[in-house]
Amino acid sequence: MKLLSFISFISLILADPPDWEDCYGCYELTASITAVVLIDGDSELGDDGDILAAFDVDSNVRGIGAMLDGLGNYTGVTLHAIMIRSNQDGDEISFRYYDASYDVIYDLEESYNFVINDLAGNLMAPYTLSYENMSINDGLLPLNYVLQQNYPNPYNPKTFINYTVSDLSNVTLRIYDIKGQLIIQLLNDIHTPGIYETIWDSGHLATGMYLLEMKAHSIIGQLIFQDINKMLFLK
């Protein structure tokens, strides 16, 4: 059985290191997954202290991952090998990832339906687990558009970007160098009112000052908000 993708909101929770424990004797059956964990589709997670864990629908731990190096096209990429435990076929398994660098837990987008003795992914062709741009739903509709200062700032190499959208609109986030040259467009999507967060990993770039621009256009294309923040990348 393959990993099943589904669309969901992803929760990001400020957290202490989790006390997840694998109960080796609690389940009789196993399946193995070798996965790459991506942020925003292209940045691999796998720093010292990070943890990938599997959970059932009742939030019981069903496996704790171990980090290892990939092979072939994944040479130099940190992968995660995790033994999933269960007592029956068909259990729905979800995944959470603890990022030690920022002391946060991500609910990953993908789920897995347990199959006895399954081998899902390998060192040369891992399965993908992912964390994407998210909306934080606090139950209150925002009154204004806001681009908050990224944090941490200075940063190395990842930084969080929070922004608020008050009306249905198309939002773009772009990164420029100090000369005003476009480095990357982080997103260009229709947003409903809410508080959003995304992550930028600039580890492949040179140390220096970068500019973060947020624009919001109405559905008919009228510019209704624009702001720019400075971000300092220090290696």
Task: Verify that 122 and 163 share a domain, yes or no.
Answer: no
Total number of domains in the chain: 2
- Alpha-carbon distance of 181 to 183, in angstroms, equals 6
Mean pLDDT, rounded, for 99-114? 83
Average pLDDT in the 57-85 region?
Answer: 93
Residue 230 forms beta bridges with which residues? 211
Confidence of residue 3 (pLDDT cuts 50, 70, 90): very low
Q: State what percent of residues in the chain have pLDDT above 90.
A: 54
Residue 143 has pLDDT above 80, yes or no: no
13 and 126 assigned to the same domain: yes
Tell me, yes or no, whether 88 and 148 share the same domain: no
Among 93, 108, 132, the domain-final residue is: 132
State yes or no: pLDDT of 136 exceeds 60.
no
Position 41 confidence tier, pLDDT thresholds 50, 70, 90: low
Same domain membership, residue 8 and residue 116: yes
Specify the amino acid at residue 191.
H
Of 65, 58, 69, nearest to 91 by C-alpha is: 58
Among 14-18, 43-47, 97-101, 114-118, the minimum mean pLDDT is found in 14-18
Specify the residue for token string 């109960």.
Answer: 23
For residue 154, whether the previous peptide bond is cis, meaning omega lies within 30 degrees of 0, is yes
- Residue 178 sits in a domain whose CATH number is 2.60.40.2550
Say if residue 124 is in the same domain as residue 140.
no
| pLDDT of 211 over the 70 cut | yes
Mean pLDDT calculated for residue range 51-63: 93
Contacts of 235 (CB under 8 A, 6+ apart): 156, 157, 207
Q: 45-49, 116-120, 140-144, 157-161 — which is least confidently predicted?
A: 140-144
Q: From its phi and psi, is residue 194 left (phi > 0), alpha (psi between -120 and 50) or beta? A: left
Place of tokens 């002391």: 103
pLDDT band for position 140 (50/70/90)? low
Q: Please give the average per-residue pLDDT across 120-134, as a whole number.
A: 85
Residues 193, 93 within the same domain: no
pLDDT at position 32, please?
A: 95
Please state, in angstroms and rounded to a whole number, the distance separating the CA atoms of residues 153 and 200.
12
Average pLDDT, the chain: 85
Both 128 and 145 in a single domain?
no
What CATH number did the domain enclosing 7 receive? 2.60.40
**Range of 217's domain?**
135-233
- Give the pLDDT mean for 25-41: 89
49 and 155 belong to one structural domain:
no
3-state secondary structure of 74: helix
Share of the chain above pLDDT 70, in %: 87
Asked whether residue 90 falls in the same domain as residue 122, the answer is yes
Last residue of a domain, one of 90, 109, 132: 132
Amino acid at 92: E
- The last residue of one of the domains, among 132, 164, 185, is 132
